[in-house]
Structure 1
Amino acid sequence: MAAADLQNPDCTAQPSLSGDRESQISDSGSTKGGWITFLFIAGALTGLTLAAGGWGANLIVYLIEEFNVKRIDAAQISNVVSGSTSLFPIVGAIAADCFFGSFSIIALCSCISLLGVVLLALTTLDFLRPQQCEHGSTLCKNPSKIQFAVLYSGIALAVIGLGGTRFTLATMGADQFDKPKHQGTFFNWYFFVFYVSAVISNTAIVYVEDNVSWTWGFGLTVVCNLIGLVIFLLGSRFYRHVKPQGSPFVDLARVFVAALRKRKVLLSLNSDDYYYCHKHQGSVKMVTGTTPTKSFRFLNRAALKTEGDNRADGLIAKPWRLCTVQQVVDLKTLIRIFPLWCTSIFLATPIGIQSSLTVLQALTMDRHLGPHFKIPAGSIFVIAFISTAISLTLIDRILCPLWKKLTNHSPTPLQRIGLGQILNALSMAVSALVESRRLRIAHAHHLQNQPAGPITPMLALWLFPQLALVGIGEAFHFPGQVSLYYQEFPTSLRSTSTAMISLLIAIAFYLSTAVIDLIRRTTKWLPDDLNNGRLDNVYWLLTVLGMLNFFGYLVCARMYKYKYTDEGHGTSNGSDQ
């Protein structure tokens, strides 16, 4: 229902604030945007992703071989770094939405990232890293405080820079288009570029680090980051800039406070008793929305007009006692989507655990492809990226058109996420089977309890199927989550909506660190030498948790009502939102 049909008599019709963000776009930039901006955004994404993958993908190996860190500890550090990389986007998104705009945040964080990778490149110099020794030897020395300080400072700056660009860049790119169909296509190509870039960085740059030198490899990350920053700035005159609207979280807090203050007021069935308009500095704007819905009815009191809430000129007299219906609807949307968001945390946690432990598995396996080439352990997870990139193309060009032909509508974001949940659980089961086989071979050759960490005579190619399944699953659930949150979140929280993906990934990586630590404390499954442990049991545990999470997701998805239809119109799929 359009709010124009339910106007408050004190208001006059003004441009809508719903749908896309046209009302927030500056007049000078209203004719900009479109697909030409994708060239610059894709170029920036490529450069920044190459830089991030160059140092991030091989971080575990770098810590083990160059800084004498124990293997499980290196995996734990990597998980914390990955979690932090995914945590900072929510900070960058809030800053972009509320204060500075996406362009300024991306430019600033790209510079911070550049400074970080420069410091990491400096750690490859002899005086900034400990003396090399054989892993596991008692003669290995720990890094000095200065060496650790430079290393962690570089990682911290690189993490902050990367976190502030990746998802804000996605939101800024989607803002260049008006139609949901074009936005959906953009997200598909955005993640295609991202995964292709990740493949290149996880293979080419990691190969240079392992076979040429760490100095050259980290030097390439500096060059890539600089190129990405320059490309992004070159496109500034083509971008459509969205004005920051101030903090929307204050408005959401007002809804809670106003509802609590009116908790004893009886709800009304008359739509005229609710406040729909927002007047600011003499202007009146219509906030498009619906009548107060049945779900979370307690919050409807925040928009219920009572004596003393309005001044004589129609302005709100007590902003912490009266809110607009649209503000109430926005808060309800966040509450309704929260359970789905929580299930995605437990979807990403097994992936976080697998990503680090797979590298440790690869270090114990035969990684040769022919007599002259050896797969870098840090590159092993690239199979998931390749799988995702290929799957994204097949889904966009084959599966989605076929699905629409058979069902008369495209697969919904919830359906895509559900398929990803199933494939993720299947990947954990395959991981458990592969690790069981590796352990049998290691025990058959009596490779346990040997300090040098001997190589199991089993090809690392056995790790490819589980990684391919993870990649296919990500091609379904990752774009599905971005599309769902971008479509369903309040307009004022668009940057925050895509960053919510990053936030759940951050929580998942921190949770994966906690899970690994708990397993190490309560079982003997994860010793420093995997040949003495039971990593297969860890994967079986993740399989069971993944299936339980999937069933929980089904319940949440079943109850969820879309805010928009598949065509992107602002109509509801259900009467009770």
Structure 2
Amino acid sequence: MADLVSGDAEGQASGDQGSKRGGWITLPFMIGTILGLSIAFFGSILNLIVFLIEEFNIKSIAAAIFNGCLAMFPVIAAILADSFFGNIPVISASALISLLGIFLLTIIASLDYLRPRPCETGSVLCQSPSKFQLGILYAALTLVATGTAGTRTTLLSVGANQYETPKDQGSFFNWYFLTASTGTIISATAIIYTQDNAGWKLGFGLCAAANLISFIIFISGKWLYKHDKPAGSPFTSLIRVLVSAIVKRKAVISSKEEVYYHGGLGEKDKNSAVMPSKSFGFLNRAALKTEGESGDTINNMWRQFSVQEVEDFKSVLRILPLWLAIILVSIPSVIQTSLMVLQALVTDRALGPHFKVPAGSVQVIAVISLCIFIIINNWFIYPMYQQLTNKPLTPLQKMGIGQVFIILNLAISAVVEAKRLKTVDSEDLMSVLWLFLPLVIIGIGDAFQLPANAEFFYGAFPDSLRNTAISLTSLAIGISFYLSTALIDLIQRTTEWLPNDINHGRVDNVYWVLVIGVVLNLGYFLVCSWFYSYKTLKDERAYLEVATLLEA
């Protein structure tokens, strides 16, 4: 892992310029926090489907789509961090909230009256949970989701903010994803195995302990972190740009630099755009100097903006079509993640005479594959591509490659499920090992997509929206949960492919439908990528420089 920390001495020096805080001295605290919170969150959520089926008698398909809201909260936390409170307070409060949620899950697993009476899985005579029991469960899950929301994207942003150079920030991105994936692997193996064999009480208790330790580690390094002070809601500025362009809609757009407002002349404005770009030309009117505007009065706050502020708004608009493509490609991934757990439940999970693979742990294969191929990509594939072409792979190209692997994975999953259905009526069930190949391919696709998503949004959004930019991927997944719920409902209403007992359904046909959807989305993504333009030529050069450094 030498490449991950290359230039540590240089990074330390750059991190200390002008400030005694930040730099590589903060890395152990960040790593400890990320690892502990990843174990706590994924240990609570990965096996949630099995917990709901076995302990709350919730039908399997309903359990599979139960996670819909869990990925929606990070964007709210990111907006709060960007606009009002800053990263450090949001992370501290959120870690404490998630700790309360996991502790409540531990209590639910410990007290019988907080759960319905146990019954055989799939029995029509199972007692449904009461409103009180569901209320306590929902409260616990809401606390976990809300608390995790405040850390998942803000930790990535605050960690990168500790460093001055793109090279050091790129190294931290690599550390972040490898550490988070390691936490997921521990959760999907040790924690889930404990839940299945030693009981849910001990399993959730270990998650609570990991959360508490990570909280202590994070606040212990508080005095070493760089603290970015929020400057108010950047969304208000974006809205005011649009209002100003509408108010000055009759103004004539000019090609002369002196007729545009450029803000102050401080250090922050040295790299600001001096002329508005031609795209979304209507918005350029917001930066025009008009009669009666001085640029520094309260009366002009809804009329006059610098060229850079207008370009920041345009950068947000340019990203929206690509963000939609991420939502659409996330729908099959969300559905498959849940369906694979259900498939694992009805396969032969015995590995040898004394070990049985927990159904919720099969996803660890994808995470292990993700870790391995993040390293392979950064050490071999990306450098080799750059040597052959004399230019780095851009984040959009990496995202496209990831979608190709998603298509391949879904096609193989369909073939594997068709084979499994043929063994349902036989004495020998299909081995769970057949699910490992598509899971490996899922990890390969994620190794291209996930870091590229963070890299793309972090670099393409205005600086004031860095947390919000990174949270867009999580928001896209959250929206895809709801869309996947609607798609599953449509499939259930119009076909017989998804009964509660998937042995009597046709999950393979569902996978083929998803293949068609991802192929169409890939075409849409390629068109959007072709027309996407960077904020300025200068930004494009800097963007490619960051991409090169991330692959170093």
* TM-score, structure 1 normalization: 0.88
Among 561, 571, 576, the residue aligned to 2:533: 561
Matching residue's letter, 2:422? R
State the alpha-carbon separation in 2 of the partners of residues 138 and 410 from structure 1.
57
Change (3 A) 1:120 1:64: same
| Residue in structure 1 matched with residue 219 of structure 2 by the alignment | 233
Change (3 A) 1:491 1:439: same
Among 409, 418, 426, the residue aligned to 2:400: 418
| Residue in structure 1 matched with residue 284 of structure 2 by the alignment | 300
| Residue in structure 2 matched with residue 250 of structure 1 by the alignment | 236
Matching residue's letter, 1:44? T
| Residue in structure 1 matched with residue 495 of structure 2 by the alignment | 523
Q: Secondary structure at the match of 2:301?
A: coil
Answer yes or no: is the 8 Å Cα contact 2:29–2:221 preserved in 1. yes
State the alpha-carbon separation in 1 of the partners of residues 384 and 16 from structure 2.
41
| Residue in structure 2 matched with residue 192 of structure 1 by the alignment | 178
Is residue 147 from structure 1 mapped to residue 133 from structure 2 by the alignment?
A: yes
Is residue 394 from structure 1 mapped to residue 376 from structure 2 by the alignment?
A: yes
Which deviations, in whole Å up to 9, do the C-alpha atoms of 1:327-346 show, x marking residues without a partner?
A: 11001101111111111111
Structure 1 position 487, deviation (Å): 0.7
| Residue in structure 2 matched with residue 157 of structure 1 by the alignment | 143
Among 444, 459, 466, the residue aligned to 1:472: 444
State the alpha-carbon separation in 2 of the partners of residues 178 and 333 from structure 1.
23
State the alpha-carbon separation in 1 of the partners of residues 486 and 130 from structure 2.
27
More helix by share: 2
Q: Secondary structure at the match of 2:430?
A: strand
Matching residue's letter, 1:490? P
Answer yes or no: is the 8 Å Cα contact 1:431–1:536 preserved in 2. yes
| Residue in structure 2 matched with residue 50 of structure 1 by the alignment | 39
Structure 1 position 517, deviation (Å): 1.3
Which deviations, in whole Å up to 9, do the C-alpha atoms of 1:427-479 show, x marking residues without a partner?
A: 1111111111111222x53xxxxxxxxx9710011111111111110110110
Is residue 348 from structure 1 mapped to residue 320 from structure 2 by the alignment?
A: no
Report how many residues are paired.
527
Is residue 181 from structure 1 mapped to residue 181 from structure 2 by the alignment?
A: no
> Equivalent residues in 2 for 1:458-497 (5 A)?
458-497=430-469
Change (3 A) 1:249 1:354: same
Structure 1 position 38, deviation (Å): 1.6
| Residue in structure 2 matched with residue 123 of structure 1 by the alignment | 108
Matching residue's letter, 2:186? I
Among 413, 422, 429, the residue aligned to 1:440: 422
Is residue 276 from structure 1 mapped to residue 262 from structure 2 by the alignment?
A: yes
Answer yes or no: is the 8 Å Cα contact 2:185–2:364 preserved in 1. yes
Structure 1 position 181, deviation (Å): 2.2
State the alpha-carbon separation in 2 of the partners of residues 193 and 286 from structure 1.
36
| Residue in structure 1 matched with residue 6 of structure 2 by the alignment | none
Change (3 A) 1:123 1:566: farther
Answer yes or no: is the 8 Å Cα contact 1:278–1:315 preserved in 2. no
Matching residue's letter, 1:88? F
Is residue 545 from structure 1 mapped to residue 517 from structure 2 by the alignment?
A: yes
Answer yes or no: is the 8 Å Cα contact 1:29–1:239 preserved in 2. no
| Residue in structure 2 matched with residue 286 of structure 1 by the alignment | 269
Q: Secondary structure at the match of 2:224?
A: coil
Answer yes or no: is the 8 Å Cα contact 1:180–1:568 preserved in 2. no
Structure 1 position 30, deviation (Å): 2.8
Q: Which moved more, 1:476-485 or 1:509-518?
A: 509-518
Matching residue's letter, 1:228? S
Structure 1 position 127, deviation (Å): 2.1
Structure 1 position 158, deviation (Å): 0.5
Change (3 A) 1:251 1:315: same
Answer yes or no: is the 8 Å Cα contact 1:195–1:386 preserved in 2. yes
Q: Which moved more, 1:124-133 or 1:363-372?
A: 124-133
Is residue 327 from structure 1 mapped to residue 327 from structure 2 by the alignment?
A: no
Change (3 A) 1:393 1:569: closer
Q: Which moved more, 1:283-292 or 1:360-369?
A: 283-292
Structure 1 position 368, deviation (Å): 0.6
Change (3 A) 1:407 1:171: same
Matching residue's letter, 2:350? H
State the alpha-carbon separation in 2 of the partners of residues 285 and 131 from structure 1.
63
Structure 1 position 568, deviation (Å): 4.5
Among 347, 357, 362, the residue aligned to 1:380: 362
% identical aligned pairs: 48
Q: Which moved more, 1:519-528 or 1:30-39?
A: 30-39
Matching residue's letter, 1:550? L
Q: Which runs of 5+ in 2 are unaligned?
A: 1-14, 547-552
Matching residue's letter, 1:52? F
State the alpha-carbon separation in 1 of the partners of residues 316 and 349 from structure 2.
46
Among 324, 331, 350, the residue aligned to 1:368: 350
* TM-score, structure 2 normalization: 0.92
Among 42, 66, 70, the residue aligned to 1:77: 66
Matching residue's letter, 1:415? Q
State the alpha-carbon separation in 2 of the partners of residues 436 and 119 from structure 1.
41
Which deviations, in whole Å up to 9, do the C-alpha atoms of 1:388-434 show, x marking residues without a partner?
A: 01111111122222222222232211111111010011111111111
State the alpha-carbon separation in 1 of the partners of residues 62 and 304 from structure 2.
52
Answer yes or no: is the 8 Å Cα contact 2:16–2:22 preserved in 1. no
Structure 1 position 290, deviation (Å): 3.4
Change (3 A) 1:566 1:297: closer
Structure 1 position 565, deviation (Å): 3.6
Matching residue's letter, 1:41? M
